[in-house]
Amino acid sequence: MGLTDRRRAIVLFGDSLTQRSFEPSGWGAALAHLYGRRCDVYNRGFGGYNTRWCRSMVGELFPADETPLLATVLLGTNDAALFDVEPAAHVPLEEYEDNLTAIVTHLKSRCVHVMVLTPPCMDERQRLAFQKEKYGADAIGVLDRSNANTERYARCAARVAKKLNVPCVDLFEATWKACGVSSHEKKVARQDSVDPWAEPSAAEPNASASETNASKAEDVFVDGVHFSAFGQKLVFQTLTDRIRAYVSSFHETGLTNGSYTLDPECMDSDWPFGPVLRGEPGEWRDKMYAHARSATIAPTLRSGDTKSRSVWRVEASDAADAENRLGRGLAALAVAAGVGLGMGYALGSAARR
């Protein structure tokens, strides 16, 4: 059993909104931190992808010999691209529903739990401003996506989740509410984007640093579509709230289905470090206790100026200590024999000369 086989896995599957979730302050990175003692979080986000392309690769990404604890699916932002502006990414709504149904169905056969995240809304004014800043005079000046169309895909994602009986995280609703109180008039913060072409732009000359930072914190997006630091935190909070509600529903019915490992605060009383590893907690507890019985831990003190600083040294058991002493004795004898042979050879050579 290898390192990656022991730990439960959480797999984040989606487009660039998932790929960029491991940015500094990203929702995926925050999730990995939250589950650091219990699960490994894997980023399987592919920028620019839609459900048509993700459906073709889901079998390879989630093979039969792996069983992740949880998979999240966040797809639809690219599918909802307007056909007359961005035809390569666009997927018709009916096909989107069919593709998403196939993806989630496959994940249900491979994973213990699956959660569908609806595509978020967008900041249309910011998107137009971003387009103009990126392309200048070559900008087409029309939206490649719209909130009205994206909402149709978000509602479709919620229907698929309900039909397949998996939890749904309504990011469209959460981001829509947050955008209602955000500032749409500020300049686009390209310095907050990690796109390769993005170059830091100077802040507005008449705005103080505190005013600029305050306005950035209110924005959900950095380019109208991708999340700002505030937006990343919003997604993380919305997702973890839904996970906690989902786990609570299992506890209320007396069922588990592995849900206890999804609870970030879960601490099994019979397993002091929480249900971290696969297998029965008792099995790993017995191994831990067996290891503890084979060694004693005794305090010792550093010499010199650090005598007051207590450190810990692991002292081997008597049997292991005897074995170590025997090994050191044999090594010393071997060294002495080698030295003797060397000196004898040197003296013999000198006598012959």
Q: Enumerate the active-site residues.
A: 16
> Where does residue 318 rank: exposed (0-12), middle (13-18), buried (19+ CB within 10 A)?
exposed
> Where does residue 321 rank: exposed (0-12), middle (13-18), buried (19+ CB within 10 A)?
exposed
Range 253-264 burial, b when 16+ CB lie within 10 A, else e: eeeeeebbbbbb
Spatial distance between the Cα atoms of 284 and 270, rounded to a whole number of angstroms:
11
Amino acid at 23: E
DSSP 287-320: HHHHHHHTEEEEEEE-SGGGTTSEEEEEEEPHHH
Residue 79, SS3 per DSSP: coil
Q: How far, rounded to the nearest angstrom, does the alpha carbon of residue 79 sit from its chain's CA centroid?
A: 24
**Degrees (nearest 5) of the Cα angle 115, 158, 162?**
75
Across-strand partners of 74? 14, 117
Retrieve residue 282's tokens: 């008792």
Helix spans in the chain (H): 3-6, 16-19, 27-34, 51-61, 93-110, 124-135, 147-163, 171-179, 209-218, 229-253, 281-293, 318-352
Spatial distance between the Cα atoms of 21 and 120, rounded to a whole number of angstroms:
14
Spatial distance between the Cα atoms of 340 and 328, rounded to a whole number of angstroms:
19
Spatial distance between the Cα atoms of 165 and 192, rounded to a whole number of angstroms:
37
